[in-house]
Structure 1
Amino acid sequence: MIPKINGLGRSFAGVAAYCLHDAPEPDDRSPETSERVAWTDTRNLATIRPERAARLMAATAKAAPDLKRRAGGARGGRKLAKPVLHYSLSRAREETPTRQEMSQAVDGSLEALGMEGHEALIVAHDDTRHPHVQVIANRVDPETGKAAKLGNSKLRLSRWAEGYGREQGRIRCERRVTNNERRRTGAEVLRPIWDRALAGGAGRRGPGPGGPGRGLARGSRPVPQGRAGRAGQGARRQRPADRAEGARDVPKGAA
């Protein structure tokens, strides 16, 4: 299982439109077709219709001050600028998970983030060799109006994915296990230089199944984790969750 945080955003409608339609092409930036969508589902919403789910999540985010007041909390505080959390869960190429298995994985990932009670829209895609689902979650708690705390979200998803692999009886990403063990012991986690270039935008070939930087040579020396992400963050391409509103700051990506 490979979890990847795609970004935070302002527009539920924008990221939902991206997930619910086919991938944009150079000659069609807003396709109306939905051939890559295998199925959709929702969590903690009074609808299973994806377009309505996006509208309801936007309404919940807007009502955050009133929800806080009704829950007995303070109504003040800054307005949550980016209530949308967008991430994906991908399986190995040779795997053929059922819808139930993918849904259970989504539930586990939401629990790992402390968002099991939050609203979410799930969109399964079958346009790549890797079975995967897109998860659009509302950071605003529908009961308390408080925003989910997403500190160390990448690390939390990485540890969850490791545990998920162990439950399935097969570890497919040994590097993840090694890195998580180093984190547990307080050791420095090293990243190969091709990851640094990916984070900084070097060696891009454009979007695709492998993402930016696919052509970088392997076997290069490792570099300490975190340096490249900060150095190259401004060069990252804009994520779907922010595209509708023009925002540019995106949290660090794949777990």
Structure 2
Amino acid sequence: MPKLKVFKFRTYRGVKFKELVLNLFEGDTEKLSAHRPVWSEVRNIPIKDARVVAGCMQATTSLSILVKRPVYHLCISWPEEAQLQKEEQINVADTLTSDLGLSEHQCLIVSHTGGARPHIHIVVNTVHPDTGRVWNSWRDVYQILESLQKIEDQVVLPSKNFHDSEQNL
């Protein structure tokens, strides 16, 4: 299994898009340190207002009677020293969703700078918007590791002159 030098990730599965998307944009309103999004983008959704996409994504789930947890949420983070620009963050999200076989699925990408490490959230509808077929997440962690390793080796490490050391993690 490849060892990542720059990126860290977590995956979550869920049922409702609304709560997750609201949390990504509003944060925990009871905490003063709630971080807000820097930017957001959507993929394969006719609505450009990222705050309205949750309803569109939830409606798409009705295309499949088999889906139990249509929400696939990835959080990808990196050390602040890596200083990934918006275009590089988008490249990470697009490459990762493509490598997972999700490039035709509805997707919301949200960038946050708050917290311990800068990060992006990738919220994907596992129900294909045209066919209604549900994406199979079998071995997704291995696919994510391979994809992020490729991105690190080909894009991030050479361009950022980022050194492999434990202190950077």
Task: State the TM-score, normalized to the length of structure 1.
Answer: 0.56
Alignment-mate amino acid for residue 82 of structure 1: R
Q: How does 1:40-79 map to 2 (within 5 A)?
A: 40-64=40-64, 79=66
**1:74-105 Cα distance to aligned partner (Å, 9 max, x none):** xxxx5211000011111222022111111111
Q: Quote the Cα distance in structure 1 between the aligned partners of 2:127 and 2:34.
A: 28
Q: How does 1:96-107 map to 2 (within 5 A)?
A: 96-107=83-94
- Misfit runs of 4+, over 4 Å: 170-175
Q: Quote the Cα distance in structure 2 between the aligned partners of 1:107 and 1:21.
A: 24
Deviation at 1:174, TM superposition (A): 8.1
Deviation at 1:4, TM superposition (A): 2.1
Deviation at 1:37, TM superposition (A): 1.1
Deviation at 1:145, TM superposition (A): 0.5
* 3, 17, 23: which one aligns with 1:18: 23
Q: Quote the Cα distance in structure 1 between the aligned partners of 2:93 and 2:163.
A: 18
Kept in 2, the 8 Å contact 1:95–1:131? The answer is: no
Deviation at 1:128, TM superposition (A): 2.6
Kept in 1, the 8 Å contact 2:63–2:127? The answer is: no
Deviation at 1:171, TM superposition (A): 7.2
Q: Quote the Cα distance in structure 1 between the aligned partners of 2:127 and 2:81.
A: 36
Q: Quote the Cα distance in structure 1 between the aligned partners of 2:140 and 2:127.
A: 16
The structure number with the bigger radius of gyration is: 1
Q: Quote the Cα distance in structure 1 between the aligned partners of 2:40 and 2:134.
A: 25
Q: Quote the Cα distance in structure 2 between the aligned partners of 1:121 and 1:18.
A: 13
Q: Quote the Cα distance in structure 1 between the aligned partners of 2:86 and 2:162.
A: 21
Q: Quote the Cα distance in structure 2 between the aligned partners of 1:172 and 1:48.
A: 38
Kept in 2, the 8 Å contact 1:120–1:138? The answer is: yes
Q: Quote the Cα distance in structure 1 between the aligned partners of 2:83 and 2:113.
A: 11
Kept in 1, the 8 Å contact 2:40–2:111? The answer is: yes
Q: How many residues align?
A: 158
Deviation at 1:173, TM superposition (A): 6.1
What corresponds to 1:91 in structure 2? Answer: 78
| RMSD, aligned CA | 2.5
- Cα distance 1:95–1:42, how it changes in 2: closer, same or farther (>3 A)? same
SS in 2 for 1:159: helix
- Cα distance 1:100–1:63, how it changes in 2: closer, same or farther (>3 A)? same
Task: State the TM-score, normalized to the length of structure 2.
Answer: 0.83
**1:106-148 Cα distance to aligned partner (Å, 9 max, x none):** 0011012110110011111110342211111000011210111
Kept in 2, the 8 Å contact 1:5–1:154? The answer is: no
SS in 1 for 2:120: strand
Q: How does 1:170-189 map to 2 (within 5 A)?
A: none
Whose strand fraction is larger, Structure 1's or Structure 2's?
2
Q: Percent same amino acid among aligned pairs? A: 20
Q: Quote the Cα distance in structure 2 between the aligned partners of 1:116 and 1:3.
A: 21
Q: How does 1:1-255 map to 2 (within 5 A)?
A: 1-22=6-27, 24=28, 28=30, 36-64=36-64, 79-168=66-155, 169=158
Kept in 2, the 8 Å contact 1:3–1:158? The answer is: no
SS in 2 for 1:20: helix
Q: Quote the Cα distance in structure 1 between the aligned partners of 2:60 and 2:163.
A: 38
SS in 1 for 2:127: coil
Deviation at 1:5, TM superposition (A): 3.1
